[in-house]
Amino acid sequence: VRILYDVLNRDPDIWCERAYAPWTDMKERMETYGLPLTAVESGDPVSDFDIVGFSLHYELCYPTFLGMLKLAGLPLLSSERGEDGPIILGGGPCTFNSEPVADFFDLFNIGEGEEVLHEIVRLYIRMKEDGAYTRTAFLRAAAGIEGVYVPSLYEVRYHEDGTLYPYVPKYPDVPTRVRKRIVADLDEAPYPEKLVLPYVETVHDRIVLEVYRGCIRGCRFCQAGMIYRPIREKSPETLCKSARCLYENSGYDEISLISLSISDYSRLPELTDKLLAWTDEKRVSLSLPSLRLDSFSEELMKKVSSVRTGGLTFAPEAGTQRLRDVINKNVTEADLERAVGIAFRGGKSNVKLYFMNGLPTETLVDIEGIAAMSKKVIDCYYALPKEERPRGVGVTISVACFVPKPFTAFQWEKQDTFEALAEKQEHLRQCITDRRIRYTYHDAKTSFIEAVFTRGDRRLSRAILRAVELGAYLDAWDECFDFDRWMQAFSDAGVDPAFYTTRGFGLDEVLPWDIIDPGVTKEFLLRERAKAYREETTPSCAEHCSGCGANRLGGKTRWCRK
């Protein structure tokens, strides 16, 4: 959002503001007193703007944006909006299957937004200036921009068994598939030089440097690793220039280097050396999240520890080597032992491990392996000489529930029932006997609802509307989530949620997200699925190009085979 806010406001013809969803108590007051949702900067009603965009990062936020539309006094359904109302635009990772919310949006930005969003707004301005604007004409024209999906321009039909026919464009100039948009050269991409600074401390209250996009790994459950391909890196020179500029213009004392796997950045030693040359002196901490076990080193440990102490986080994802091979995680128990040994010798006493349960082919042996790996970390601590280890040791394991995501090798798989997931969670709890291991897990019922919407189609809009009528709003927050309310909404809307979750999709079935071309081909995903069931791994892009298809999108990358 910071990037898009900066990009749009650089154009003298565009005025971009922000609006946020109020918490439940404020929402109730606004409804009671008839106060509309307003923009932060000007205080103008959101309904007065020409275009209103929502960033969709999590399916459980769907009731939230509808609640914001209601507060703004705008019709929820695209079909009910008149010529004078704002265009409603969606972006973010959820748009790779936007079908459950397609009836609410006028158009979606598929892929990276720095260029396409500006093109959409410039098209709007041009049509207004030329007197050629109507809502219908604008949407038809916008559909011609690469990376723009206009749901209303497609006929959607269903077989008697509930599965989909292929989508049919309503007009010959509408694309049969919408290709994801990427920024070809990240060194040339706009990046904010000044940040909007809050008066209070907020989440992610730090300088954030995006080091690269994409991922050279191919974890078969991971959607982000597929939809952000091809891999494109920023140079250390570009990153250091941005870091210094943002530090001088913000006063933040922390810089976070982000990517899907920061330790896979090909020039990480050079980058960290250049940053530490001045951040040490300024007492600015450098954080490197998303570290991989197999690429964690003593040199990296020293750099992470140079300013700030604390714990480290790793993601083995599965408790046995067999299951790690199935999901193509490509890390071993030996990698874990080596990495935590380095961490302990470097003064880190707390380690956090991420796992998943409910993965395809998983058995109780794999669940028990999570407890065994966690205990292995404790053993590694005590295997060190007393003088080499920090005081005390703690291991936190966080276990998420597997959700089959679009554009992954497991997109066809069924999800475990939430009862089965809960049983596995309890089994793991009983396997953990060491009090130094802290166990947290995701709510299985929440993951069930997430799966419904991540794999759903347009019929789900009825259920979302009904859930909002029943009071759904901030369902991404645990204290606001109500599973029974969702089940009531599905029942009232005549929708069977199990159709999207505990039913495996046919390999030749038309999927709701087939309308989108993410670069990665279905043929590649089918090959990866077959390898998963043979327990075969695929090397990283750095070792060998596996022909995923992302090279069709172009971009400045050294990983893809042309």
Q: Averaged over 215-236, what is the pLDDT?
A: 96
pTM of the model: 0.94
In angstroms, rounded to a whole number, what is the distance separating the alpha carbons of residues 317 and 320? Answer: 9
In angstroms, rounded to a whole number, what is the distance separating the alpha carbons of residues 64 and 67? Answer: 5
Helix ranges, 346-478 (H): 364-383, 418-431, 444-454, 460-469
Is residue 344, in this structure, part of any structural domain at all? yes
- What would you report as the CA-atom Rg of the chain, rounded to the nearest whole angstrom? 24
In angstroms, rounded to a whole number, what is the distance separating the alpha carbons of residues 400 and 444? Answer: 9
Is residue 476, in this structure, part of any structural domain at all? no
**Claim to verify: residue 159 and residue 217 sit in the same structural domain:** no
Confidence of residue 306 (pLDDT cuts 50, 70, 90): low
Question: What letter represents residue 121's amino acid?
Answer: V
Domain end residue (candidates: 145, 179, 213): 179
Is residue 548, in this structure, part of any structural domain at all? yes
> 74-109: per-residue pLDDT in tens?
999 999 999 989 999 999 999 999 999 999 999 999
**pLDDT of amino acid 307:** 46
3-state SS class at 438: strand
H or E stretch at 287? strand 285-287
Confidence of residue 195 (pLDDT cuts 50, 70, 90): confident
**pLDDT of amino acid 19:** 97
> 324-337: per-residue pLDDT in tens?
999 999 999 999 99
Q: Which tokens belong to 367?
A: 């669940």
CATH number at residue 215: 3.30.750.210
**Claim to verify: residue 360 and residue 509 sit in the same structural domain:** yes
Domain end residue (candidates: 149, 179, 209): 179
Mean pLDDT across the chain: 94
DSSP annotation of 352 reads: E
Phi, psi of 227 (to 5 degrees): -75, -15
Q: Which residues of 129-140 are buried (b: 16+ CB within 10 A; e: fewer)?
A: eeeebebeebbb
Residue 385 preceded by cis peptide, ω within 30: no
In angstroms, rounded to a whole number, what is the distance separating the alpha carbons of residues 109 and 183? Answer: 13
Helix ranges, 154-267 (H): 224-227, 236-250
**Claim to verify: residue 294 and residue 373 sit in the same structural domain:** no
**pLDDT of amino acid 72:** 98
Question: What letter represents residue 485's amino acid?
Answer: R
**Claim to verify: residue 431 and residue 546 sit in the same structural domain:** no
**Claim to verify: residue 96 and residue 150 sit in the same structural domain:** yes
Q: Does the structure show a pLDDT above 60 at 309?
A: no
**Claim to verify: residue 327 and residue 186 sit in the same structural domain:** no
Q: Does the structure show a pLDDT above 80 at 562?
A: no
Is residue 289, in this structure, part of any structural domain at all? yes
**Claim to verify: residue 451 and residue 561 sit in the same structural domain:** no
**Claim to verify: residue 382 and residue 328 sit in the same structural domain:** yes
Confidence of residue 560 (pLDDT cuts 50, 70, 90): low
**Claim to verify: residue 231 and residue 94 sit in the same structural domain:** no
Let me know: does 255 contact 247? Beta carbons within 8 Å: yes
Range of the domain at 218: 182-304+536-562
In angstroms, rounded to a whole number, what is the distance separating the alpha carbons of residues 405 and 403? Answer: 6
> 438-449: per-residue pLDDT in tens?
999 999 999 999
> 168-179: per-residue pLDDT in tens?
999 999 999 999
Let me know: does 343 contact 386? Beta carbons within 8 Å: no
Domain end residue (candidates: 179, 207, 239): 179
Is residue 471, in this structure, part of any structural domain at all? no
Number of domains into which the chain is organized: 3
Most confident by average pLDDT, 87-91, 273-277, 343-347: 87-91
**pLDDT of amino acid 290:** 66
> Which residues are bridge partners to 201 per DSSP?
none
Confidence of residue 288 (pLDDT cuts 50, 70, 90): confident
Let me know: does 519 contact 181? Beta carbons within 8 Å: no
Q: Which tokens belong to 150?
A: 């206009």
**Claim to verify: residue 256 and residue 122 sit in the same structural domain:** no
